[in-house]
Structure 1
Amino acid sequence: MPTFDLRTVLLMASVMPGLMALVMFSIGRTFPRTILGVAQWAQGSLLFSAAAFVMALRDAIPDWLSVVVGNVCIVGSIGLWLIGTQRYLGRVPCVRLIAALALVDAVSLSWMTWADLNPHGRSLCTNVILLLLFALLAYELLRYGDADSGARVVGSLFAFETLIASARVITLLQPVATNEGLYAHDRMQMIYLSSGAFMSLSITVGFMLTAVNRLRFHLEQLSRIDPLTGLLNRRALLSAHTMARETPRKSRRYLSLLLIDLDHFKRINDTYGHSMGDDVLVDFARRAVLALPPEAELARWGGEEFAVLFTCDTVDEPVRLARALQARIASMGSSSLPSYTCSIGVACLGAADASIEQLLKQADGALYRAKDNGRNRVEVALEVVDVTVSPMVEKAMKI
């Protein structure tokens, strides 16, 4: 097996994580507060870089610095990665466990350096602690980061490092284990240090890519969500229509669109102020979500207009749903808000004709009739295509 200069390997391991830490510190400051853990990842990478540099100077600097401080800092850096990972995943960080492990490592290394010299025991102690931390990181990322591709990749890297650390611990437990120090040129030591250097770079890059991926998802969500009500915006509803149209084609179901307008909303703004008008919009969004089935897509279409898109088996369903929603809004809501009502236009088409333009044209026409006929009512589009008009729909058209 070819040999490497292990001191050079450690020096390489000290450079790249440090550079990535600086990148994470710089970019992380621009991240929204909802993306947690990046600071701890950067701190851990910087600490790892410093620890690897100190350990690379073994035999050139005092043992208390290269052995005790270096190894404890390695444990601390992995602990910071674990804290950052748990914060990123929305988990409670196990700070006390990490602090306890670092303390155990510091006390054990100090004892086996000055009171009872035992290099083999020092190596075993630190590697057992690192094995535990690697396993915890792999578990957290693979167990709770299943919806995050970046987290799964980094979790796989930690799972691999767990296997390497396990092999190292097993080797150290063997009675024939060598005791030639950090730069021993035995096979296991070379694999362990070389893989550690490679993994330190791969993991820090993985952390950075994971955070950037979360930022991209966050920005995509912002582009799809109305900031006031928290509902989908127009762009998101148009995207939902494209996906929903494929579903009814396969099962020959219908696609329905409800256009909803809050009655006399300008009067609310003029009488109570725009702040109260915003509160009314938020209240409508909250109450409408409770009145609609989970599969319905509710969006703020613009101003005081809202839209609901959903698939259905019969043309009666959107009429029943629209009436239930209209009645719920007309009932007394929050005592701190003025009472308000809504008008709803209903369109329902077979899949072949359910273009967004056709649905909007029909629902908009029905909504205008609802306003012309006195508001606070439901009207169904007269141009219903490819459906059998039921008595309920006929009744809704006449009321």
Structure 2
Amino acid sequence: MFSLTRGFPANIRGVGHWASGALVVSISAMLLALRGGIADWLSIVVANVGVVLGTGLWLIGSQMFFGQRPARRFIALLLTIGVIAMSWMTWVHPSVAGRTLCMSALLTLTFGLSSMTMLRFGRGNNPALFVGSMLLVQTCVTALRGMSMFVPAWASIGLFAPDLIQRIYLTTGALMSLTVSVGLLFIAMDRLRNQLEQQSFMDPLTGLLNRRAFLDAHRQERDRTMRTGGLLSLLLIDLDHFKQVNDRYGHATGDRVLIDFANRVAEILPAPRYVARWGGEEFAVLLPRVPPDEAKTHAERIRQRVAQKEDATLPAYTCSIGVTCMAASEATIEQLARDADEALYGAKRSGRNCVQISDHVILL
């Protein structure tokens, strides 16, 4: 997990905390197992507080992974309580039951909050639901262990006492440590896979579809529309005098203009629609089952919205749009692009900042 952390992109956060938590829990488990053979401050205080720290790191890592505010201060508070309580009940007022009750309460909190984070924010992600379920089981078992201290017949006399509650607690703890660590690894790998898939069909600057994804969308929509005998409309959009924007304000500002344009277009077009960066400062919009007059209306809305200066930090800019529409049976991407491109050049010859509909379109 530590090795994978170094290779993960920076926007996948929390994996390092998961790895650290797994390491701390493992070391703490070994210290607990050596109780009676090493000093009590190691096998009791450090070991128990280490388990709280490790599970707390899992919680912080999960919160970071799902974009939530990490509960660092809360975990620090639990650690402080753990150190004081374990020390007090080991040397000042020795109490096995007290230590068991205190640790059960602290771990019920860390396990429970981790489980809630996974189950709430990991919906639709099978590894996250699995890890959340395992943590929920451990939460219930840990809480049961704590409550058993109030029942004399169930009260444990030590961590390795041969009673049923302790056997269940140790068994689920061992299984949980392994399965949760593996599950967290699968969660991180699943997020990485999704990001790589997104990068394969998204333009990295604007977040719109790239040309490859746009062609796939056209093929799927054309097949779907051909079965119903519908239409496909295509808009080709070019930002007017964009080279002058780059030359005068710099490429960084030019990139911000492209991002601003992409955001505006994505906001105003109804679904289903596919918006792609066709190349450079040129964009394409596929509108399935949209007639030519409606496609022209959408194009005009885009032109008017772009012409409005909304961001004072960006230079004013406009766009020219070519519109075409044809029956799905004839609407190959080559034919759509050719007709829309001719209409786009007609818009540029007409003075730019306007919409031109293809001559091959028959208005309904």
**TM-score by structure 2 length?**
0.89
1:35 matched residue in structure 2: 12
C-alpha contact (below 8 Å) 1:244/1:310 kept by paired residues? no
Q: Does 1:362 align with 2:339?
A: yes
CA RMSD between the two structures: 2.7
Q: Does 1:167 align with 2:144?
A: yes
| 5+ long unaligned stretches in structure 1 | 1-23, 391-399
SS for the counterpart of 2:7 is coil
Mapped to 2, the partners of 1:277 and 1:96 lie a distance apart of: 43
1:199 matched residue in structure 2: 176
Q: State the Cα deviation string for residues 136-164 of structure 1 (Å, max 9, x = none).
A: 11111111221433322211221222232
C-alpha contact (below 8 Å) 2:234/2:340 kept by paired residues? yes
SS for the counterpart of 2:285 is strand
Q: Go from structure 1 to structure 2 and tell me whether the alpha carbon gap of 1:355 and 1:178 turns closer, same or farther (over 3 Å shift).
A: same
C-alpha contact (below 8 Å) 2:138/2:176 kept by paired residues? yes
Higher deviation after alignment, 286-295 or 69-78: 286-295
Mapped to 2, the partners of 1:189 and 1:233 lie a distance apart of: 57
Cα offset, 1:323, TM superposition: 1.6
C-alpha contact (below 8 Å) 1:255/1:310 kept by paired residues? yes
Cα offset, 1:366, TM superposition: 2.5
Mapped to 2, the partners of 1:250 and 1:132 lie a distance apart of: 56
Residue type of the alignment partner of 2:118? L
2:3 matched residue in structure 1: 26
Cα offset, 1:321, TM superposition: 0.9
C-alpha contact (below 8 Å) 1:280/1:337 kept by paired residues? yes
Q: State the Cα deviation string for residues 258-309 of structure 1 (Å, max 9, x = none).
A: 1112234345545665455444433433443444336433221101210112
- Which of 201, 210, 215 lines up with 1:224 in the alignment? 201
C-alpha contact (below 8 Å) 2:206/2:262 kept by paired residues? yes
Cα offset, 1:168, TM superposition: 2.4
Q: Does 1:50 align with 2:27?
A: yes
C-alpha contact (below 8 Å) 2:104/2:145 kept by paired residues? yes
Mapped to 2, the partners of 1:312 and 1:116 lie a distance apart of: 78
1:157 matched residue in structure 2: 134
Q: State the Cα deviation string for residues 6-38 of structure 1 (Å, max 9, x = none).
A: xxxxxxxxxxxxxxxxxx222212222211111
Cα offset, 1:66, TM superposition: 0.6
| 5+ long unaligned stretches in structure 2 | none
C-alpha contact (below 8 Å) 1:344/1:377 kept by paired residues? yes
Mapped to 2, the partners of 1:331 and 1:288 lie a distance apart of: 13
1:190 matched residue in structure 2: 167
Q: Does 1:60 align with 2:37?
A: yes
Q: Does 1:143 align with 2:143?
A: no
Residue type of the alignment partner of 2:95? N
**TM-score by structure 1 length?**
0.81
Mapped to 2, the partners of 1:113 and 1:278 lie a distance apart of: 63
Cα offset, 1:171, TM superposition: 3.1
Cα offset, 1:354, TM superposition: 4.1
Q: Go from structure 1 to structure 2 and tell me whether the alpha carbon gap of 1:269 and 1:186 turns closer, same or farther (over 3 Å shift).
A: closer
Q: Go from structure 1 to structure 2 and tell me whether the alpha carbon gap of 1:142 and 1:332 turns closer, same or farther (over 3 Å shift).
A: closer
Q: Go from structure 1 to structure 2 and tell me whether the alpha carbon gap of 1:56 and 1:335 turns closer, same or farther (over 3 Å shift).
A: closer
Q: Go from structure 1 to structure 2 and tell me whether the alpha carbon gap of 1:366 and 1:126 turns closer, same or farther (over 3 Å shift).
A: same
2:240 matched residue in structure 1: 263
Cα offset, 1:133, TM superposition: 1.5
For these two proteins, the number of residue pairs brought into alignment is 364
Identity of aligned residues (%): 48
